Amino acid sequence: MSKSKEELLKQLSDCVFEMEDEEIISVAQEYLDAGYDPLEGITEGLVDGMNRAGVMYEEEEYFITDLLICSDAMYNGLDILKPHLPQKNLEGEKTYKCVIGVVEGDTHDIGKNLVKIMLETAGFEMYDLGRDVPLRNFIDKVKKVDADLVCLSTLMTTTMPGMKKVVEMLKEENMYENTKVMIGGGPISQTYCDKIDANGYSPNAVEAVKLAKLLVGMGIPA
């Protein structure tokens, strides 16, 4: 007898949460073959698993390595389910767009990658510029996709001033009011955030999601 939808959703969630990045491929396929809704498979299955992993990370039961493997599992599941999603978003539903990258001169991107994964899981449409990103590229991309949020990361003190520069450029181009700037990385602090007029700082990837939602007003009725 084929498995129920609930059973398979639970299995998808568990595969992500328990870091079964290979097993998830067959589970996702089984879910599709049974004719269940791919969107629900993502939100109630994969994303649910990633959220559970995020909670464990917050509780210091999971570490960076665990989140990385959980996210591998999530993306493997997404690869199967995503092509079967209806092409258009539901009308009237606001999509929050976020540009993210490591500022010029720095190639440390593990923190940025984790934040990207967690924001993507939370429903943001992510535009990842990668690492060592020329500062101008942030502005251009924000403009091009009309982003609600820009996330800047760096691990090095030498490249911190790049964040300030991005804020200044947003101000110069009159984009500062509409685009929120979130910063993070080893040497960054709330004090530095205040100093450069960024809109928020978060110490880790899970906190970053809460902050991002708050900054753009996601989930808050208009």
Partner 1 sequence: MDYLELKSEMDNYKVEMSSAERSYKYFNGEKVDHLLYTLQLPEPALANIYGYTTYQMENDINVFKDIIGKRTKRLGIEGVNVRLSLRSIGGAVGSNLVFPEDGLDYIDDHILKDYDDFDKLEIPNPYDNKILTPLLERAKVLKQSYPEMAITTGVVGPFSTAVAIRPIESVLKDTRKDVKNLEKLLQFSVDASLKWIEVFTKEIGPGTASISDPVTCTDILSKEQFNKLSLPYLEKLISGLIEITGKKPSLHICGHTKGIWEDVGKLEISSFSVDNCEDIGDTAEALGDKMLVVGNVPPIEVFRYGTIDDVIEFVKSCIKKAGDSPKGYMLSSGCQVPIGTPIENMEAFVYAVRKYGAGARIGEMPEGTRDA
Task: Note whether 124 and 149 are within 8 A (CB).
Answer: yes
Which is nearer to partner 1, 113 or 179 (by Cβ)?
113
Q: Minimum distance between the CB of residue 50 and partner 1, rounded to whole angstroms?
A: 17
- Reported as type and span, the H/E element at residue 151 is strand 149-153
Q: Minimum distance between the CB of residue 158 and partner 1, rounded to whole angstroms?
A: 4
Binding site residues, partner 1, CB under 8 A: 19, 63-65, 68-69, 72, 105-107, 110, 113, 132, 156-161, 186-187, 189, 191-192, 195
Q: Minimum distance between the CB of residue 205 and partner 1, rounded to whole angstroms?
A: 12
Q: From residue 127, how far is each of 37, 200, 222 by CA, in Å?
A: 26, 19, 25
How many CA atoms, within 13 angstroms, populate the side-chain half-sphere of residue 108? 13
How many CA atoms, within 13 angstroms, populate the side-chain half-sphere of residue 31? 30
Which is nearer to partner 1, 56 or 175 (by Cβ)?
56
66/192 Cα distance (integer angstroms) = 30
Q: Minimum distance between the CB of residue 64 and partner 1, rounded to whole angstroms?
A: 6
Q: Minimum distance between the CB of residue 128 and partner 1, rounded to whole angstroms?
A: 14
Which is nearer to partner 1, 76 or 113 (by Cβ)?
113
Which is nearer to partner 1, 89 or 189 (by Cβ)?
189
β 180-184/149-153 pair status: parallel
Which is nearer to partner 1, 26 or 63 (by Cβ)?
63
Bridge partners, 150 (sequence order): 99, 181
Q: Minimum distance between the CB of residue 209 and partner 1, rounded to whole angstroms?
A: 18
Quick one: how far is CA 97 from the chain centroid?
Answer: 10
Task: Note whether 79 and 152 are within 8 A (CB).
Answer: no
Which is nearer to partner 1, 23 or 37 (by Cβ)?
23
